Amino acid sequence: MKTIIFTLIAAVIMLLCGFGKNKPGNKPENENNSVKTAPTVLVIGFEKSQLSSNYYGIDYLVDKFGISADSIHILFNRSIFKKLSSYKGIRFNELSDEQSKEYFYQHIKYNKGLNNSHEITVSDLNKDSYRKMLEKNHTEYLLFISQYQINWSGEPFNTLIHLLDYTLFDKDMNKIYSGQLFFDSEEIESMVATKKAEKKTYQLAQKIEKLVR
């Protein structure tokens, strides 16, 4: 008799627990604990010819940073990517394959916009090759840093203005957004390591997250 009673009590408890889990509005445990996969963005930095200044010559930059003229743009691009990749909201992957970079550079068109900014046209790119590039790098979007300008301004104070052009594309080569990031500094070193650059790059990453979420 006791065995029967205990069995009935256990059955009632199991039923109650089951109803509690399946009540309307209660999500399954694995659904509550699931984490939405963060979008991944492929980053392509600007090519060597797209680093310019109205004040500093390339020879000065070579002496300042102690690297070859062919590596100046690589230093800047890596600095930008490092700051972007520290952002936690979405993932950024850098395109490291030089052959893919060269193909991309050869099939885009630069059109001048306001403040010497770039308007990028990618209609000459092969769509299948573009998609394969994204898939190979496990990404869904492309962020192209198309230009970096370092301009001297004497008004109202002597300062350097850094201008960085960027365009965001989806997996079908549609342009989602293009813009220009800028910040100022007093020293030439600031374009590689500065709190203002970090802040602005963080804001860029935030903006991209809002666009791709």
Please name every residue paired with 163 in a beta bridge, in sequence order, or none if there are none: 149, 182
Q: Looking at residue 113, what is its pLDDT?
A: 78
Round to whole Å and give the CA distance between 194 and 163: 14
* Topology annotation, domain 40-212: Rossmann fold (3.40.50)
Q: Over range 63-76, report the average pLDDT.
A: 88
pLDDT of residue 7: 44
What is the mean pLDDT of the segment spanning 14-37? 45
pLDDT at 22 over 60: no
Mean pLDDT of 7-34: 43
What does the pLDDT read at residue 61?
83
pLDDT at residue 25 is higher than 50: no
Point out the least confidently predicted range of 1-10, 32-41, 51-60, 167-176: 1-10
**Do residues 197 and 83 touch, judged by C-beta distance below 8 A?**
yes
Domain boundaries, the chain: 2-32, 40-212
Confidence (pLDDT) at 23: 45
Q: What is the distance between the alpha carbons of residues 102 and 96, in angstroms, rounded to a whole number?
A: 11
Q: Tell me the pLDDT tens digit for each residue of 148-192.
A: 998 888 776 788 888 999 999 999 999 999 999 988 887 776 455
Tens digit of each residue's pLDDT (9 = 90 or more) over 94-106: 999 999 999 999 9
The least confident of 51-60, 121-130, 193-202 is: 193-202
Mean pLDDT, rounded, of the chain: 81
pLDDT at 81: 93
CA 76/CA 148 separation, integer angstroms: 9
Question: In this structure, how many other beta carbons lie within 10 angstroms of the beta carbon of residue 27?
Answer: 10
Cα–Cα distance list, 86 to 25, 66, 73, 162, 208 (Å): 37, 26, 20, 21, 14
How large is the average pLDDT for residues 53-68?
86
Would you say the pTM of this structure is higher than 0.85? Answer: no
**Per-residue pLDDT for 17 more than 50?**
no
pLDDT at position 193, please? 53
pLDDT of res. 10:
45
